[in-house]
């Protein structure tokens, strides 16, 4: 059986041709799945009953359930999703006045073990399939009864460690016969893997790219993000320069501001120096004040940091984490649940 959500339009066309059917039938199926939000082949009434019965023997609709849902006082919704094999992943829906952003996972767990991340702390289980990535979006749009506007790969996992599935999922959701979501509505958020950044630049996909930077001191960054030991800041910078030379696209940098760790004026000046020559936008995100390991800097220090960046003509914005009252930080729900679903569990 083939998972229908892992199928590209061309693959589906090939299947129809094998059945002696016109390939355009695949376009009809894409329209049912991605626009009409059908949950089974039996709903696809413009396909003959005989064809639907034959397809049922080849195509499976994957099962993904909402195991837990939390709604924050700021409207952010967090979902723990149970996969068919009993693993859990997380996704977060951020609602803004004029648009929604859906933050999705690319892996079950993550091997990169960043010090501030609950997903990293619980280790890596496996990559998601293209269908499991697409399935998060399909499930959420069904649930909300409307399309989501932007998709960010900022949930569980490092998307550049599961590139084939991530890009196939994006291409499926981008397909004009189906969901038709523009490439600029997707953001890849990476811990900074130089080879993956170069491959993305070469792929021709006009996605947005965001880098979790957090420090421009190799010692500090390696403590926060062990991947920095393998790919220190100068190596990352070369890849970013390559990306920008190839694509011309602006880069977004995430910078979690932590008291006494990376929040001094000198840190801000060094950050500006590191980003010299790159077209960039910096999101400064003071850590959640209830974070047990890291403390949030005072408002005065936060403002001084921002002003220093602005004085160096860096485009920057102060952002506060959303959904802090519902443990919206990636990996926390799954960690509480013990990492895996079990048979017969109540949703
Ligand atoms: S922050 Fe991202 S890259 Fe780091 S461990 Fe968590 S999921 Fe992985």
In a domain, 344, yes or no: no
Residue 2 contacts residue 58 (beta carbons within 8 Å): yes
pLDDT the model gives residue 322: 75
In a domain, 343, yes or no: no
Rounded to the nearest integer, the mean pLDDT of the chain is 92
Structurally, the chain folds into a number of domains equal to: 2
Distance from the alpha carbon of residue 153 to the mean position of ligand 1, in angstroms: 11
Mean pLDDT of 158-176: 98
24 and 138 co-located in one domain: no
DSSP state string for 70-91: EE-TTS-EEEEEE-TTSBEEEE
Of residues 41, 42, 132, the one with CA closest to residue 88: 132
Over 60: is that where the pLDDT of 341 sits? Answer: no
Distance from the alpha carbon of residue 317 to the mean position of ligand 1, in angstroms: 22
168 and 304 co-located in one domain: yes
Give the C-alpha separation, 137 to 147, whole Å: 9
User: Which residues, 6+ apart, have CB-to-CB distance to 123 below 8 Å?
Assistant: 109, 111, 113
268 and 303 co-located in one domain: yes
170 and 46 co-located in one domain: no
Pocket lining: 157 vs ligand 1, CB cutoff 6 Å: yes
Which atom of ligand 1 lies closest to the CA of 225? 4
Last residue of a domain, one of 60, 80, 107: 60
pLDDT tens digits for range 110-135: 999 998 888 888 899 999 999 999 99
Distance from the alpha carbon of residue 74 to the mean position of ligand 1, in angstroms: 24
Lowest-confidence region among 47-51, 195-199, 325-329: 325-329
106 and 203 co-located in one domain: yes
Pocket lining: 117 vs ligand 1, CB cutoff 6 Å: yes
Last residue of a domain, one of 45, 60, 75: 60
pLDDT the model gives residue 326: 65
For the domain that residue 49 is a member of, what is the CATH number? 1.10.150.530
Identify the domain containing residue 32 by its residue range.
2-60
pLDDT the model gives residue 324: 67
For the domain that residue 197 is a member of, what is the CATH number? 3.20.20.70
Provide the pLDDT confidence category of residue 23 given band limits of 50, 70 and 90. Answer: very high
pLDDT the model gives residue 330: 60
pLDDT the model gives residue 346: 25
32 and 77 co-located in one domain: no
What percent of the chain has a predicted confidence (pLDDT) above 70?
Answer: 92
Over 80: is that where the pLDDT of 289 sits? Answer: no
pLDDT the model gives residue 209: 98
Last residue of a domain, one of 24, 45, 60: 60
Which atom of ligand 1 lies closest to the CA of 157? 7
131 and 180 co-located in one domain: yes
Phi-psi region of 38 (alpha: psi -120 to 50; beta: other; left: phi over 0): beta
In a domain, 8, yes or no: yes
Burial class (CB in 10 A: 0-12, 13-18, 19+), 16: buried
């Amino acid at each position: 059986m083939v998972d229908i959500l892992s199928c590209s339009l061309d693959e589906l066309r090939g299947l129809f041709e094998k059945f002696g059917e016109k390939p355009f039938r695949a376009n009809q199926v894409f329209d049912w799945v991605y626009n009409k939000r059908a949950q089974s082949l039996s709903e696809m009434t413009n396909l003959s009953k005989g064809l639907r019965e034959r397809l049922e023997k080849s195509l499976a609709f994957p099962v993904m359930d909402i195991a837990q849902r939390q709604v924050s006082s700021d409207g952010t919704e967090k979902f723990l999703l149970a996969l068919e094999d009993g693993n859990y992943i997380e996704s977060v829906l951020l609602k803004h006045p004029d648009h929604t952003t859906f933050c999705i996972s690319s892996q079950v767990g993550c091997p990169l073990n960043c010090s501030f991340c609950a997903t990293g702390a619980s280790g890596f289980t496996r990559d998601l399939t293209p269908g499991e990535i697409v399935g998060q979006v399909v499930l959420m749009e069904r649930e909300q009864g409307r399309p989501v506007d932007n998709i960010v790969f900022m949930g569980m996992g490092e998307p550049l460690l599961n590139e084939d599935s991530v890009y196939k999922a994006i291409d499926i959701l981008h397909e004009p016969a189906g969901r038709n979501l523009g490439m600029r509505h997707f953001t890849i958020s990476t811990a900074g893997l130089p080879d993956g950044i170069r491959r993305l630049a070469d792929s021709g996909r006009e996605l947005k790219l965001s880098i979790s930077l957090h420090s421009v001191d190799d010692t500090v960054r390696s403590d926060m993000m062990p991947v920095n030991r393998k790919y220190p800041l100068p190596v990352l910078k070369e890849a970013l320069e390559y990306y920008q030379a190839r694509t011309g696209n602006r880069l977004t940098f995430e910078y979690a501001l932590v008291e006494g760790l990376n929040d001094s004026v000198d840190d801000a000046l060094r950050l500006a120096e590191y980003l010299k020559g790159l077209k960039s936008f910096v999101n400064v995100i003071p850590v959640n004040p209830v974070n047990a390991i890291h403390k949030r800097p005072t408002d005065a220090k936060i403002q001084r940091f921002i002003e220093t960046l602005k004085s160096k003509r860096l485009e920057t914005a102060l952002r506060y984490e959303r959904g802090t009252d519902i443990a919206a930080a990636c990996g926390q729900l799954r960690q509480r649940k013990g990492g895996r679903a079990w048979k017969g569990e109540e949703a």
